[in-house]
């Protein structure tokens, strides 16, 4: 990548992994760049990479997914290795942009530098190759994007959160400095966050080797709001320049905007050179002191990274071990957990927990369960252990990717939810059923599915194609659409019989059935209530509104998941309940109380549905990437074999179930 070392009146960085490159953000001064010289037609038009990219040397194929970000120099895509299903973030650089020797040299230097880096808080470099059209750099995929995205959703973060992120940034930065490497472009958009809310320092397009004072690079490059005074004064880059940028990052996260941001770029530079900024009174005294000690004009007066970690801001303040995914969108609850909460949290981390013994409840406790319906506290039920490996507030990925953004649904006031949680559940007549002693749990459903699929694969002969499918399989119920809104409420889904269900974060379940005429409500102890919609108790109205919001969103924005005939469905009142859902790096897994297992693969939108037929034998339905469904008796697959495409997916599901059964 061209490191964009321009004059002070120009935009100074082209960050090719930051999706908000051309939007106002704390990473950029909010002023229009000067007109750029016209480019040739070949430079102006950047053709999309092929849907399947092949490494010309190894022959390995990669499926191109969604666009993660773009800049003036390159684009970044999600790509999946078709042989292993491993997903990467891939920088794609057109060959036309490296036609000159100095341009190719910069890309080569970036690759060679990044290849040498191995640290927990540095984006992992995997490999690279090129073809006639592009250069492809394969990097670790960080599914929760960057601190820039979190900043845009939150605007300001709490002191404990800032300590959490800064500790990881400093860890990665110390590693770089110890190797004699300056990053030179520290900003929110270059701090990436993975599935586990762990931070990774990335984008080394402007990185350089640390030189002596006399040999230091004196070009002005970086991002305007984060440039150190000595860089603007062309005194050269040292590790102190990275420390200055770190202080700007801290200020931005705590205050909501960079310390020297103005509407005019030249004025921003004057403020930086004069170290002219304001510390809001809302900042805690330790935070004010630390920022002041970092943003010193003289580089030698700034704190070192070790001194920053020894500052009272860190030593006298609480730093969480982990942050919940919901913190990407909302202020997290970070009180030290009680022993009971620690137990439940540990249990929830297991995808498919062991069966727990029943706990006796007195009538008053049973009655109180209903009052906790929208408390918002994630808990594990006794007979339905649930895990939440989620991505927080997700985005609409594609017409067939059934994830939704938080925006369209974010209309239910949290205060109302808290009020409804305190109301009692009285005076309403409803049909109900008690919890069954031998009710299916996620563990038992997963165990059965793993057993039958393992047996099928163990006896399956080699085959080049799938056997003939059933011409008219008996209809069954499956998930046609889904929406992950667990950052606030829960997981919603639409079944093939048009019933809508939501599994709420605190373990209760509410379904709109029979064309929304009846409401099914299930407590965490599996006690069921069925109401007529017009006779629904006031205490459940808040949850019903949330279900309706998700239902309307799915109806208006999401496509059906395949071509399975939804006519002649089983009776709507017999709809299965979702026991548990989980996201892996590659798929969404759903387990139901009728023994059904459904797995939706993200990259190509293929699906596997394992369910029992009327004679208790198993049927497997495969929905291809062309959205064409085929149903096979599992016994037929076991005897006649199947295509490598289907076999690969079956093995993945078995390995997934086995891995978490052993957890």
CATH number reported for the structural domain that contains residue 502 in this entry = 3.30.1120.30
Q: Contact at 8 Å (CB) between 460 and 642?
A: yes
Q: Is residue 326 part of a domain?
A: no
Instruction: Tell me what pLDDT residue 181 has.
Output: 93
Q: Is residue 88 part of a domain?
A: no
Q: Contact at 8 Å (CB) between 350 and 660?
A: yes
Return contacts of 215-220, CB within 8 angstroms, 24+ apart: 219/3, 219/5, 220/5, 220/6, 220/7, 220/8, 220/12
Asked if the model's pLDDT at residue 126 lies above 90, the reply is: yes
Query: How many distinct structural domains can be found in the chain?
Result: 2
- Whether residues 189 and 280 share a domain: the answer is yes
Asked if the model's pLDDT at residue 252 lies above 50, the reply is: yes
585 a catalytic residue: no
Instruction: Tell me what pLDDT residue 538 has.
Output: 87
- Which among 185, 203, 242, 484 is annotated as catalytic? 185
- Whether residues 622 and 519 share a domain: the answer is yes
Distance, in Å, from the CA atom of 191 to the CA atom of 203, rounded to the nearest integer, reads: 9
Coil/strand/helix, residue 190: helix
Q: Contact at 8 Å (CB) between 396 and 404?
A: yes
Instruction: Return all residues near 324 (Cβ < 8 A) that are at least 6 apart.
Output: 197, 332
- Whether residues 304 and 216 share a domain: the answer is yes
| Cα atoms in the Cβ-side hemisphere of radius 13 Å centred on 463 | 20
Q: Contact at 8 Å (CB) between 195 and 391?
A: yes
- Whether residues 427 and 515 share a domain: the answer is yes
- Whether residues 306 and 391 share a domain: the answer is no
pLDDT in tens, 195-239: 999 999 999 988 988 866 544 555 555 578 899 999 998 887 789
Q: Is residue 106 part of a domain?
A: no
Distance, in Å, from the CA atom of 634 to the CA atom of 206, rounded to the nearest integer, reads: 55
3-state SS of 359-381 is: CCCCHHHHHHHHHHCCCCCCCCC
Q: Left (φ > 0), alpha (ψ -120 to 50) or beta: where does 470 sit?
A: beta
The predicted model gives 35-47 an average pLDDT of 48
Q: Is residue 256 part of a domain?
A: yes
Residue 646: give the domain boundaries. 363-661
Distance, in Å, from the CA atom of 460 to the CA atom of 399, rounded to the nearest integer, reads: 35
Q: Is residue 452 part of a domain?
A: yes
Instruction: Tell me what pLDDT residue 527 has.
Output: 79
Q: Is residue 232 part of a domain?
A: yes
Asked if the model's pLDDT at residue 489 lies above 50, the reply is: yes
Q: Is residue 26 part of a domain?
A: no
* CATH number for the domain harbouring residue 186: 1.10.510.10
- Whether residues 370 and 308 share a domain: the answer is no
pLDDT in tens, 273-318: 999 999 999 899 999 999 999 999 999 999 999 999 999 999 999 9
- Whether residues 188 and 269 share a domain: the answer is yes
End residue of a domain, out of 258, 292, 315:
315
Q: Contact at 8 Å (CB) between 469 and 620?
A: no
Q: Is residue 422 part of a domain?
A: yes
Length of the chain counted residue by residue:
663
Nearest to 579 by CA among 509, 489, 482: 509
Distance, in Å, from the CA atom of 202 to the CA atom of 186, rounded to the nearest integer, reads: 9
In eight-state DSSP terms, residue 237 is -
Confidence of residue 271 (pLDDT cuts 50, 70, 90): very high
- Whether residues 377 and 311 share a domain: the answer is no
Q: Could you report how far apart the first and last alpha carbons of the chain are, in Å?
A: 43
- CA angle 325/28/303 to nearest 5° reads 75
C-alpha dihedral (71, 74, 77, 80), degrees to nearest 10: -160
Distance, in Å, from the CA atom of 291 to the CA atom of 427, rounded to the nearest integer, reads: 58
Of 12-21, 23-32, 176-185, 620-629, minimum mean pLDDT range: 12-21
Number of Cβ within 10 Å of residue 78's Cβ equals 19
Of 71-85, 210-224, 418-432, 528-542, minimum mean pLDDT range: 418-432
Maximum Cα–Cα distance for the chain, whole Å?
84
- Whether residues 286 and 411 share a domain: the answer is no
Asked if the model's pLDDT at residue 436 lies above 70, the reply is: no
pLDDT in tens, 439-480: 678 888 999 999 999 999 999 999 999 999 998 888 889 999
The predicted model gives 132-147 an average pLDDT of 94
- Whether residues 370 and 289 share a domain: the answer is no
Nearest to 197 by CA among 353, 334, 290: 334
Q: Are strands 181-182 and 509-513 parallel, antiparallel or unpaired?
A: unpaired
91 annotated as belonging to a binding site for a ligand: yes
Mean pLDDT of the chain: 77
Distance, in Å, from the CA atom of 511 to the CA atom of 528, rounded to the nearest integer, reads: 11
Coil/strand/helix, residue 465: coil
Asked if the model's pLDDT at residue 638 lies above 90, the reply is: yes
Distance, in Å, from the CA atom of 161 to the CA atom of 451, rounded to the nearest integer, reads: 43
End residue of a domain, out of 282, 299, 315:
315
Instruction: Return all residues near 54 (Cβ < 8 A) that are at least 6 apart.
Output: 60, 61, 62, 131
- Whether residues 417 and 513 share a domain: the answer is yes
- Whether residues 398 and 469 share a domain: the answer is yes
């Amino acid at each position: 990548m061209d490191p964009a070392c321009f004059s002070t009146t120009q935009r100074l960085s082209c960050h090719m992994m930051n999706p908000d490159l051309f939007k106002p953000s704390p990473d950029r001064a909010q002023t229009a760049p000067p007109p750029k010289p016209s480019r040739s037609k070949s430079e102006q038009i950047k053709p999309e990479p092929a849907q399947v990219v092949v490494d010309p040397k190894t022959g390995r194929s990669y499926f191109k997914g969604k666009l993660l970000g773009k800049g003036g120099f390159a684009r970044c895509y999600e790509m999946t290795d078709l042989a292993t299903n491993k997903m990467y973030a891939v920088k794609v650089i057109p060959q036309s942009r490296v036609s000159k020797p100095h341009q190719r040299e910069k890309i080569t230097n970036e690759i060679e530098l990044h290849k040498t880096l191995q640290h927990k808080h540095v984006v992992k470099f995997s490999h690279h190759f090129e073809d006639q059209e592009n250069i492809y750099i394969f990097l670790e995929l960080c599914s929760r994007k960057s601190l820039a995205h979190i900043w845009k959703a939150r605007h300001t973060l709490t002191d404990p959160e800032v300590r959490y992120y800064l500790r990881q940034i400093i860890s990665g930065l110390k590693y770089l400095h110890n190797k004699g490497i300056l990053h030179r472009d520290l900003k929110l958009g270059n701090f990436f966050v993975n599935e586990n809310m762990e931070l990774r320092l990335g984008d080394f397009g402007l990185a350089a080797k640390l030189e002596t004072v006399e040999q230091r690079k004196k070009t002005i490059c970086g991002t305007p709001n984060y440039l150190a005074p000595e860089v603007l004064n062309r005194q050269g880059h040292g590790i102190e320049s990275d420390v200055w940028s770190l202080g700007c990052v801290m200020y931005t996260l705590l205050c909501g905007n960079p310390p020297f941001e103005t509407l005019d770029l030249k004025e921003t530079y004057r403020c930086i050179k004069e170290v002219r900024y304001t510390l809001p009174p809302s900042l805690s005294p330790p935070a004010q002191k630390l920022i002041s000690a970092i943003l010193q004009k003289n580089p030698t007066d700034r704190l070192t990274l070790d001194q920053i970690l020894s500052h009272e801001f860190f030593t006298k303040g609480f730093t969480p071990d982990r942050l919940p995914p919901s913190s990407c969108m909302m202020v997290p609850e970070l009180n030290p957990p009680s022993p009971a909460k620690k137990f439940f949290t540990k249990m929830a981390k297991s995808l498919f927990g062991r069966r727990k013994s029943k706990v006796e409840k007195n009538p008053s406790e049973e009655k109180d369960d209903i009052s906790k319906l929208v408390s918002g506290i994630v808990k594990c039920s006794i007979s339905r252990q649930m895990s939440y490996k989620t991505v927080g507030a997700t985005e609409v990925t594609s017409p067939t990717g059934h994830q939704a953004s938080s925006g369209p649904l974010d209309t239910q006031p949290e205060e109302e939810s808290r009020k409804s949680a305190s109301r009692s559940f009285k005076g309403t007549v409803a049909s109900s059923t008690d919890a069954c002693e031998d009710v299916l749990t996620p563990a038992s459903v997963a165990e059965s599915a793993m057993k039958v699929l393992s047996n099928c694969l163990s006896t399956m002969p080699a085959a080049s194609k799938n056997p003939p499918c059933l011409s008219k399989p008996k209809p069954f119920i499956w998930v046609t659409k889904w929406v992950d809104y667990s950052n606030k409420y829960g997981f919603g889904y639409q079944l093939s019989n048009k019933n809508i269900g939501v599994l709420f974060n605190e373990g209760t379940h509410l379904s709109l059935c029979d064309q929304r005429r009846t409401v099914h409500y299930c407590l965490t102890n599996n006690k069921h209530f069925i109401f007529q919609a017009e006779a629904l108790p006031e205490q459940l109205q808040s949850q019903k509104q949330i279900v309706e919001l998700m239902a309307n969103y799915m109806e208006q924005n999401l496509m059906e998941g395949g071509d399975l005939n939804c006519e002649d469905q089983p009776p709507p009142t017999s709809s299965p309940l979702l026991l548990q859902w989980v996201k892996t790096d590659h798929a969404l897994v759903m387990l139901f109380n009728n023994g059904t297992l459904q797995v939706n693969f993200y990259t190509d939108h293929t699906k596997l549905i394992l369910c029992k037929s009327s004679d208790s034998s198993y049927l497997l339905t495969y929905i291809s990437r062309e959205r064409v469904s085929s149903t096979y008796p599992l016994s037929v697959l076991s005897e006649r074999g199947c295509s490598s495409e289907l076999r690969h997916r079956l093995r993945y599901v078995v390995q997934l179930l086995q891995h978490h059964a052993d957890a």
